Structure 1
Amino acid sequence: MKKIITLVAIVVLLIGCGKSKKEAQIQGKVEKEQISIVSKVPGKIVQLFVKEGDLVKKGDTLAILDLPEVDAKKQQAEGAVTSAKAQYNMAVKGATENQIKQLEAKKQGLKEQYEFAQKSIKRLSNMLKDSLVSQQTYDETFAKYQGAQAQYNAVQAELNEAKKGGRIEQQTMALGQQDRAVGALQEVQTADKERYIIAPQDMSIETITLNLGELALPGYTLFNGYIADSVYFRFTVAENQLGKIKKGQEILVHIPYTKKDIKGIVTTVKQLGAYGNIATAYPDYEMQESLFEIKITPSNSKEAKDLITKTTVTLSL
């Protein structure tokens, strides 16, 4: 009789173990997509607008940096742009109004000298034919006539150039200098915008690494946080359990601390490359087996938005 009772107890125990194994639960963690905000230019923090635990919207200003070097370069760049624009305008427009007036007056004076020399050479030419003047006198007057003509032609060319502006090569060179100065100013203006540390997404601020007055170097992380509405569940399973989980499968995740179940969809199944990435406590697997990370995204994000990160969740397989 004792043997029968013992046998029945063993059978019940085996059945219970089999049922427990069939309905084995694995533990995982509540996770959120993390985000880090870094500085692009060096500067001291002069203002902080958030504190740890705050929820911020995309585009919110988190902090302001003091950038004295950028301010100095901005003044230099603005001065260079003003100078380059003036050079280009001068090359295109040519001489000023007063310079044009001076050249017009000079032209008028030389014109009168040229016309007088022209009349004189005509009179002397007739007198030379009648032998009333010597050849020497005529040659001297003719030389003065040629000089007056050359000066008059020169001032005409100078006046035309002043009205038309500089040579096309000079204009092109001035335009290139202007474009280079404008480009340098735009570069400084872009750097100046980096004094404002802006939230790239809706997020929660978890850690602030620097305080007021501390120096932020390029690439240094200033804020760490979690992206809003990015909750997911992460589990670690052995390869012998992969047959029970498929990508796209709808599955039920239990939240122990709220005593609620949340429907989710298996979105990622990938092999773990490092033992330190294991999310499930004490995963049951053989040494030769590979471990895989299972990512489950809640079907209704509103149900999971208030879940606390890194809390334990369970999954029945």
Structure 2
Amino acid sequence: MNTYKNILLGGFALLALSSCQPEQITPNRGKVKFETISVSSKLAGRVDKIFVEEGQKVKKGDTLATINIPEVQAKMLQAEGAIMAAQGQLNMAFNGATVEQLNQIDGQLNAGKAQLNFAQESFNRLEAMYTDSLISQQQFDEVKMKLDMAKAQVAALAAKRDEVKKGAREEQIEQAKGQLDRAKGAREEVATASLEQFVIAPADMSVETISLDEGELLTPGFTLFNGYKTNSIYFRFTIPESRIYDFEVGQELSLVNPYTEEEVGGRIAAIKQLAKYADITSTAPLYGLSESIYELKVVPTSNVQGQKFYINATFLIK
């Protein structure tokens, strides 16, 4: 009788224990992750002012800091000066010579004509004397050379006057336009560089670390702010080779927080093999020897707005 009683009590105990056991959860553990983001500057300068603190959430386009870049102002003045000079050259090409310049050329031309007349008279006198053999061949050649030089000078001055009256050549105008465009391009480049004094948030993000303090030198490409993109949560699970065949890209999963027991629906977005150093060897006796390790990237499919997630917090595949 006691034997049947003990068996009956044992059955009730087993039934009670089985009803109290928690829902089975797989041993696949993962971590909460967020997409990281780094913010740096293209130009060197000193950190002038920092407007955010570590842990603060900011919106895309918010100013995180300002950088003091004195070289930009100096280059802007140079660019403005180059534009003024190029614009002056273009105006001169379009408008042609001034009245004063024309008067100056006319004066030079009149002086050249006077020299030509004197050279012509000298040549006429010496030509008659040369015919009568009163001067040598050398003296006559010298007078003839001076006459030819006077004629060439008058012709050159006349051509210069005609060119000035007609205005600048088309090639000169195009050259002046090119110089002006180049100067304006330099100014635009400096204006773009001046915007680099403002360090702007490229996306909605939370600021996790600030690398420098105000007054410190920021070099080009050095990360000033590190953070996480808002609403970029995903879950990272490491799965050994022996169990990776249980999963596939696009598969729906149910995830659970082991501490709050909150559940999240997810979908496998990617499966990739980790680097060789992550392979399981005999130092991890729970797994097979030389077993490759894979990473599951799981993105949430359910609404997670009301839940709290902390970076590297543990989640399980249910």
So what's the TM-score if we normalise by structure 2?
A: 0.71
2:165, 2:51 → 1: CA distance?
58
Contact preservation (8 Å) 1:90, 1:165: no
Partner of 1:298: 300
Task: Describe the shift of the 1:157–1:28 C-alpha distance in structure 2 as closer, same or farther (beyond 3 A).
Answer: same
Contact preservation (8 Å) 2:279, 2:291: no
1:93, 1:277 → 2: CA distance?
79
Amino acid at match of 2:97: A
1:63, 1:184 → 2: CA distance?
26
Amino acid at match of 1:231: I
Task: Describe the shift of the 1:97–1:277 C-alpha distance in structure 2 as closer, same or farther (beyond 3 A).
Answer: farther
2:56, 2:279 → 1: CA distance?
28
Deviation at 1:241, TM superposition (A): 0.9
2:216, 2:196 → 1: CA distance?
16
Q: Alignment identity in percent? A: 44
Partner of 2:93: 91
Partner of 2:221: 219
Secondary structure of the 1:194 match is helix
Deviation at 1:308, TM superposition (A): 1.2
Secondary structure of the 2:28 match is strand
CA RMSD of aligned residues (A): 4.6
Partner of 1:203: 205
1:153, 1:244 → 2: CA distance?
98
Secondary structure of the 1:25 match is coil
Amino acid at match of 1:315: I
Deviation at 1:212, TM superposition (A): 0.6
Contact preservation (8 Å) 2:279, 2:293: no
Residue from 231, 240, 259 that aligns with 1:229: 231
Task: Describe the shift of the 1:78–1:217 C-alpha distance in structure 2 as closer, same or farther (beyond 3 A).
Answer: same
Task: Describe the shift of the 1:174–1:214 C-alpha distance in structure 2 as closer, same or farther (beyond 3 A).
Answer: same
Contact preservation (8 Å) 1:271, 1:291: yes
Deviation at 1:155, TM superposition (A): 8.3
Moved over 4 A (4+): 97-107, 150-160, 274-278
2:157, 2:277 → 1: CA distance?
89
1:26, 1:218 → 2: CA distance?
43
1:180, 1:84 → 2: CA distance?
9
1:300, 1:263 → 2: CA distance?
5
Deviation at 1:101, TM superposition (A): 8.2
Task: Describe the shift of the 1:273–1:29 C-alpha distance in structure 2 as closer, same or farther (beyond 3 A).
Answer: same
2:246, 2:163 → 1: CA distance?
88
Partner of 2:140: none
1:277, 1:52 → 2: CA distance?
36
1:97, 1:257 → 2: CA distance?
93
Matched, 1:169 2:171: yes
Runs of 5+ consecutive residues of structure 2 not aligned to the other structure: 111-127, 129-151
Report how many aligned residue pairs link the two structures.
Answer: 288
So what's the TM-score if we normalise by structure 1?
A: 0.72
Task: Describe the shift of the 1:39–1:151 C-alpha distance in structure 2 as closer, same or farther (beyond 3 A).
Answer: closer
Amino acid at match of 2:224: L
Contact preservation (8 Å) 1:26, 1:283: no
Amino acid at match of 1:296: V
Between 152-161 and 45-54, the greater mean CA deviation after superposition: 152-161
Deviation at 1:182, TM superposition (A): 2.3
